[in-house]
C-alpha cells in the first residue's frame, strides 16, 4: 500500500492533536470539492463517524463564528433520508463537521457497477430522495450540490449527505468564497442559474439536479 501524501499525514497528526479527547482519526476516506473526509472514532459515544474538514483556503475566508452559526440550520434537519449533522467546530485553525459514517456505497458506485437500475428500484429511490428534498426545502434549506456521490445507500435506503453545507458555506463566505477558486457545486449537476453564479438560488436548483 502506498504512503499517503505528506500533507495528509501532517493534517491527520494536526487533527488528532487538536481533537484530543473528542475524536481519533482512523484514516483518510476521500476528498471532495469543499472538504477532506476522514473516518474517525467519536470517543464520547464510542462510534464511527465521518469527520469532514473544510479546505484550509475555504475555511480561511469563512470565519469560525459565521460558519458555525450558518451550519446550525443543517443540524436542525430531521428526516429518515437525510444524513444528520452530529457536530461541528474548529480544530487547530481548521473548520470541521461530523456526520454518521455510513457502511455502504454511494449511488454513484452502484450506478457505475450496475449501469442501469431496474425501473421499480429507480422509482423507489427517486421518491425517497424527493421526499427528503421536499422536507428540507420546506425548512428553507437547499442542498446546492445534489449528485449521486452525495447519496449514500444504507440497508437499501438512500440518505443524502452534506445537506445545506454548501448553503452554509455560501452564506458564511459571501462573495469571498469565489476568491478561493472552489466550486460550490458540481458542473454536471448544476442548474443554469447556479452555473451562472446567481446568488438567489432556490429549491428549483435542487429539483433540476435530481432530474438529471
Q: What residues are annotated to the active site?
A: 145
Give the strand pairing for 94-100 and 87-91. antiparallel
Residues 6+ apart with CB under 8 A from 76: 139
3 state DSSP class of 120: helix
- Spatial distance between the Cα atoms of 23 and 16, rounded to a whole number of angstroms: 7
Distances (CA, A) of 182 to 33, 55, 105, 122: 7, 9, 26, 32
**14 vs 77: CA distance, rounded Å:** 31
Amino acid at each position: 500500500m502506498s504512503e499517503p501524501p505528506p500533507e495528509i499525514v501532517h493534517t491527520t497528526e494536526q487533527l488528532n492533536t487538536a481533537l484530543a479527547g473528542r475524536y481519533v482519526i482512523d484514516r483518510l476516506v476521500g476528498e471532495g470539492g469543499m472538504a477532506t473526509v476522514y473516518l474517525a472514532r467519536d470517543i464520547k459515544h464510542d462510534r464511527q463517524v465521518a469527520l469532514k474538514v473544510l479546505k484550509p483556503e475555504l475555511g480561511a475566508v469563512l470565519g469560525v463564528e459565521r460558519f458555525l452559526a450558518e451550519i446550525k440550520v443543517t443540524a436542525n434537519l430531521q428526516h429518515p433520508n437525510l444524513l444528520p449533522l452530529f457536530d461541528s467546530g474548529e480544530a487547530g485553525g481548521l473548520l470541521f463537521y461530523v456526520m454518521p459514517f455510513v457502511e455502504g456505497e454511494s449511488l454513484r458506485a452502484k450506478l457505475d457497477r450496475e449501469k442501469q437500475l431496474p425501473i421499480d428500484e429507480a422509482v423507489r429511490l427517486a421518491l425517497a430522495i424527493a421526499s427528503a428534498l421536499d422536507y428540507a426545502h420546506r425548512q428553507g434549506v437547499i442542498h446546492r450540490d445534489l449528485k449521486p456521490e452525495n447519496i449514500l445507500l444504507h440497508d437499501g435506503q438512500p440518505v443524502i449527505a452534506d445537506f445545506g453545507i454548501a448553503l452554509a458555506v455560501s452564506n458564511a463566505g459571501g462573495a469571498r468564497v469565489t476568491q478561493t477558486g472552489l466550486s460550490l457545486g458540481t458542473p454536471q449537476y448544476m442548474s443554469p442559474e447556479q452555473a451562472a453564479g446567481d446568488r438567489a438560488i432556490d429549491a428549483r436548483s435542487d429539483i433540476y439536479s435530481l432530474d438529471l
